[in-house]
């Protein structure tokens, strides 16, 4: 029995953490689409007129995605060798913070404003697309753009100017 459990965990680990297998690629694509859809729904929910008409549907989808991401988070903890190390890693914390606000809103009424933290789900796209090694290097690009805009003030928009 222990061998089959270990085999099951190994297979699950390969599907969730490795994208070299067809199942791993399918998992990454499904996760990517879920994250993007979830983020779009969060943005739509922030528009009062859309929330007024479709609020109940958006709320149901939010719970669906929260449950999906909760299951995914638990499966990650189950299949990894050191669950505490994953849970305290940057992506483990982002994963947790992206699901906790929905539960907090039920347990502690009045915490609905924390639901905006769900937008952190978009950070998970970096992991899915295997862009994590390049995140730090984006600072170099931003600094270069800031330096260029400082030399040519009319060239850059306000989003590139430092305060």
Which tokens in the block code for residue 86? 């994953």
For the entire predicted model, the pTM comes to: 0.70
Residue 104: predicted pLDDT: 83
What CATH fold (topology level) applies to the domain 2-128? 1.20.120
In the block, which residue shows the tokens 């490795």?
A: 18
Cite the residue boundaries of each domain of the chain with CATH code 1.20.120.350: 2-128
Buried b / exposed e over 20-56, threshold 16 CB at 10 Å, is eeeebeebbeebeebbeebbebbeebeeeeeeeebee
Residue 119: predicted pLDDT: 66
Q: Return the number of other C-beta atoms located less than 10 Å from residue 157's C-beta.
A: 7
In the block, which residue shows the tokens 């890693």?
A: 89
With a cut of 50, list the residues of the chain below it in pLDDT.
1, 3, 152-163
Residue 1: predicted pLDDT: 45
């Amino acid at each position: 029995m222990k061998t089959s459990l270990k085999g099951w965990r190994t297979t699950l680990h390969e599907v969730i953490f490795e994208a070299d297998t067809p199942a791993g690629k399918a998992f990454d694509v499904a996760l990517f689409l879920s994250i993007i859809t979830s983020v779009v729904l969060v943005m739509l929910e922030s528009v009062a007129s859309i929330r007024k008409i479709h609020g109940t549907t958006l709320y149901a989808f939010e719970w669906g995605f929260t449950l999906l991401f909760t299951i995914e988070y638990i499966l990650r903890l189950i299949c990894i060798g050191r669950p505490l190390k994953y849970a305290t890693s940057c992506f483990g914390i982002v994963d947790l913070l992206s699901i906790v606000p929905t539960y907090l809103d039920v347990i502690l009424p009045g915490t609905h404003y924390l639901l905006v933290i769900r937008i952190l789900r978009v950070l998970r796209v970096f992991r899915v697309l295997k862009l994590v090694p390049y995140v730090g290097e984006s600072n170099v690009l931003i600094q270069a753009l800031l330096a260029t805009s400082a030399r040519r003030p009319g060239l850059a928009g306000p989003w590139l100017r430092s305060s």
